[in-house]
């Protein structure tokens, strides 16, 4: 199994974040999963830290995340 994978889950739905976190926890050995629920917090975190994967809801509150692509 792959270890030390760092994943950011950015979605305004707490349920979606929980489901994705559970899925990755079953697939990967001890993933580091960080969650954010709005675009400003997500952008701030992306400026500060590097991630192996980012799962981004393209329709989040407090802004449009489509320019991040």
pLDDT in tens, 21-49: 999 888 888 889 999 999 899 989 999 99
Nearest residue to 6 via CA among 38, 33, 42, 25: 33
Q: How far apart are CA 34 and CA 10, in angstroms?
A: 8
Is pLDDT at 69 greater than 60 in this prediction? no
Q: Given a cut of 80, is residue 62 above it in pLDDT?
A: no
pLDDT over 80 (residue 67): no
How many Å apart are CA 37 and CA 11, to the nearest integer?
5
Domain extents for the chain? 1-6+13-56
């Amino acid at each position: 199994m792959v270890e030390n994978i760092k994943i950011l889950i950015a979605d305004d739905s707490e349920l979606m974040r929980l489901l994705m976190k559970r899925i990755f926890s079953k697939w990967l050995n001890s993933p580091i999963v960080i969650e954010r629920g709005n675009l400003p917090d997500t952008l701030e975190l992306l400026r500060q830290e590097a991630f192996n994967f980012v799962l981004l809801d393209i329709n989040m509150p407090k802004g449009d995340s489509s320019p991040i692509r």
